Amino acid sequence: MSFMLDDVGLTHSNGFTALSHISLSAIQGDSIALIGPSGAGKTSLLSTIGTAYLPTAGRMQVLGRTASAQSAARELKTLRSRIGTVHQAAPIPLRQRVVTAVLAGKLGHWPLWKALASLAYPQDIAGAREALARVQLEDKLFARCDQLSGGQLQRVGIARVLYQQAELILADEPVSALDPALSQATVQLLVREAAARKATLVASLHAVDLALANFARIVGVRDGRLAFDLPAAQVSDAQLQALYAHADGRAADLPMLHNRLAQRDPASATPTPIQVNACR
C-alpha cells in the first residue's frame, strides 16, 4: 500500500474545514489525477498525503507509516524524504543556481556535511544535468534561478523530484505555466518516470483533457469531499459537468468532451480539438 486515508478530515486552526470524510487509497505504482473546481480541496488533499498537513480526523498511513499529530518529528522527517512534491510555484530561492536547486532533491538523504558542501560545490553535477535534460533545460545547469521564466522554474522543480527518485510523487498543478505541447510532454514524462520505478504519482491538474488522456485513475474533488474515484475511461461528461457546476446549480461553462461512443461512431465526434482548462 502506498497510502491510505480512512475517513480523513482536515480543519485548520482558524476553524475552516478543508477536507471532510476522505477515504482514498493507492497501491504502489498507481497513477492518479485529481480534478475539480477552484477551492475544491485538491491542494489540501495533496498536502495531507504528503504530511505537510496532518489529519485532524480519521487516520492515515503513508508508505507503510502512520502519519498523525502524534507522530514523532524524526519519523515524519524520514517519511517526507521518501516523498517528492512538485509545487505549482516551486519554492526555490531565486538567487540559487539551477544545479543547486535540483540537487536539493537529495538533501533528505545526504548527511549534513554533504548538504552543506553541495552549497559551495555541487556534489553531483552529472546527476543534475541528466535530470535537467529530461525537462529540456540542460543548458540552464549553472544559471541563476532569477534568470528563468515561470515555466522554466516549474520544470526545475520537476527535475528536482526526478533527481530525488521519490517513492511517492505529488504534483500540484505541475504544468500550469507551460504551453499545451510542453504540458503534454511534461505530464507524460512524470507518468513514465513513476511507472518505470513503480512509484505512485498523484497530480492535481486544471486541464481535464490532460488528466483523462494520461492517467489511469481520475479522482473528482469538490467542496473538500470526493465526488468520484473512477478509471479514466469510465468518467462521463455528466459527471464532469456536475463536478464543475456552479453553486446555484447552473451548468459549468466547459466545452463538452468527446463522447466515449465517438470511438465507435466517428461521425458523432466533435471535429474541434477539445481544451478543457477548468480553474484550479
Per DSSP, 97 falls in state B
Query: Nearest 5°: phi and psi at 140?
Result: -100, 15
Question: 205-260, pLDDT tens digit by residue?
Answer: 999 999 999 999 999 999 999 999 999 999 999 999 999 998 666 777 664 344 33
Strands across the sheet with 3-11, in order?
A: 17-26, 3-11, 57-62, 65-66
Query: Nearest 5°: phi and psi at 88?
Result: -60, -45
Q: How far apart are CA 175 and CA 228, in angstroms?
A: 23
Angle at alpha carbon of residue 49, lines to 129 and 88, rounded to 5° = 50
Residue 73 above 60 pLDDT? yes
Q: How far apart are CA 258 and CA 89, in angstroms?
A: 31
Give the class (CATH, top level) of 1-82+167-182+196-280: alpha beta
Mean pLDDT of the chain: 87
Per-residue pLDDT at 113: 62
Report the DSSP beta bridge partners of residue 11. 17
Least confident of 12-16, 30-34, 56-60, 94-98: 94-98
Q: How far apart are CA 32 and CA 201, in angstroms?
A: 6
Q: How far apart are CA 198 and CA 215, in angstroms?
A: 14
Q: How far apart are CA 116 and CA 238, in angstroms?
A: 53
Question: 16-30, pLDDT tens digit by residue?
Answer: 999 999 999 999 999
Question: 114-131, pLDDT tens digit by residue?
Answer: 666 666 678 889 999 999
Per-residue pLDDT at 248: 64
- Do 10 and 48 contact (CB within 8 A), yes or no? yes
Domain ranges of the chain: 1-82+167-182+196-280, 90-165
Residue 134 CA: distances (Å) to CA of 8, 130, 170, 171, 225 = 36, 7, 18, 17, 35
Once rounded to an integer, what is the mean pLDDT over residues 191-203?
Answer: 97
3-class DSSP assignment, residue 80? helix
pLDDT-derived band at 92 (thresholds 50, 70, 90) equals confident
Q: How far apart are CA 16 and CA 14, in angstroms?
A: 6
